[in-house]
Amino acid sequence: MSGKIALEEHFAIDETLADSAAFVPEAYWNELRSRLIDIQDGRLRQMDAHGIEMMLLSLNAPAVQAVGDIQQAVELARRANDFLAEQVVARPDRFQGFAALPMQDPDAATEELTRCVRDLGFRGALVNGFSQIADSEDLLYYDLPQYRPFWHAVEDLSVPFYLHPRNPLPAHSAIYAGHDWLMGPTWAFGQETAVHALRLMGSGLFDDYPDLRIILGHMGEGLPYSMWRVDHRNAWVETAPRYPARRKIADYFNENFFITTSGNFRTQTLIDAILEIGADRILFSTDWPFENIDHASDWFDAASISERDRRKIGRLNAIGLFGLEDLISDAGASLRAAE
């Protein structure tokens, strides 16, 4: 399929580059490093070769979220966003941006998101999981009360928020002791992010801000296949939910969340996701440079789904979700062709 739009696609700046070194063996670091810092050269050639018209770019992980000093986090986010804006301006037909945000300070995060959307033209934000502050042992998850004004701003700006994984801190990783192979994309990324997303759903956030749109990568971090059990365990016991939200958890997942195919290139999983959440809420992504563009594209182009769903997931859903009609004007024609 040509004309695909991919939206979990990473880059690094000098200050964040080392954050990605642990995700590949040392012998592969030079290759990963070159992929992270390249935007306008090899990345574009890969896109052209595999039918990707546009990437929405985001900073690598954990980056800003792991900077304990609030002022340093604010400054790092601003530098990364300014750099990304320069890359987007060079080729706006091929690249758009997600804002990196200093979530350690909700007011600063709100200010930076507003600047990125209104002044830099970014299409939303991508945040790498929980944030931490150096003088506190508490982890900052975004269902906490102090983030309500931030979420109000996200809703007002009408942009999506991509909740991207990071590993749990060592102090909270006892379950993985002796099994380091479970860390990162293998398992810990998905579990950490799924719990964070469930916290958002159960907190009542979407009762207060029903128009929020949250994106999860990696085919939903396992959540599509767990929603029924979350809401129906011990169904014979008549008891009120033990969370503030007013509705079933699956209601929020189905109405406020989108998922992407990033780093999870399996047709059976995609079909199950379509059955659970619907093709209108799934979007193509590769997870470059941590996964290969050809692996993602070759799989997706051949996956045994309908051409109508392929066009939605590969292109049309992103056009609508991110308001890309100003750059890509063929949404209606593409849908008619798919029909």
Domains of the chain: 4-338 (3.20.20.140)
Question: What was the pLDDT predicted at 326?
Answer: 87
Q: 236: pLDDT confidence band, cut at 50, 70 and 90?
A: confident
Q: How far apart are the first and last CA of the chain?
A: 15
Q: 338: pLDDT confidence band, cut at 50, 70 and 90?
A: very low
Q: 336: pLDDT confidence band, cut at 50, 70 and 90?
A: very low
137 vs 335 pLDDT, higher one? 137
Q: Chain-wide mean pLDDT for the chain?
A: 95
Residue 329 has pLDDT above 80, yes or no: no
Residue 137 has pLDDT above 80, yes or no: no
Question: What was the pLDDT predicted at 330?
Answer: 60
Catalytic residue numbers, as ranges: 287
Residue 101 has pLDDT above 50, yes or no: yes
What is the C-alpha separation between 29 and 44, in angstroms, rounded? Answer: 21
Q: Are 307 and 335 in contact (CB under 8 A)?
A: no
Q: What are the pLDDT digits (tens) for 262-302?
A: 999 999 999 999 999 999 999 999 999 999 999 999 999 99
3-state secondary structure at position 257: strand
Q: Are 232 and 170 in contact (CB under 8 A)?
A: no
What is the amino acid identity at position 36? L
Which residues have a Cβ under 8 Å from the Cβ of 61 and sit 6 or more positions away?
Answer: 10, 19, 20, 128, 129, 164, 165, 166
SS3 per residue for 49-98: HCCEEEEEEEECCCHHHHCCCHHHHHHHHHHHHHHHHHHHHHCCCCEEEC
Q: What are the pLDDT digits (tens) for 11-53?
A: 999 999 999 999 999 999 999 999 999 999 999 999 999 999 9
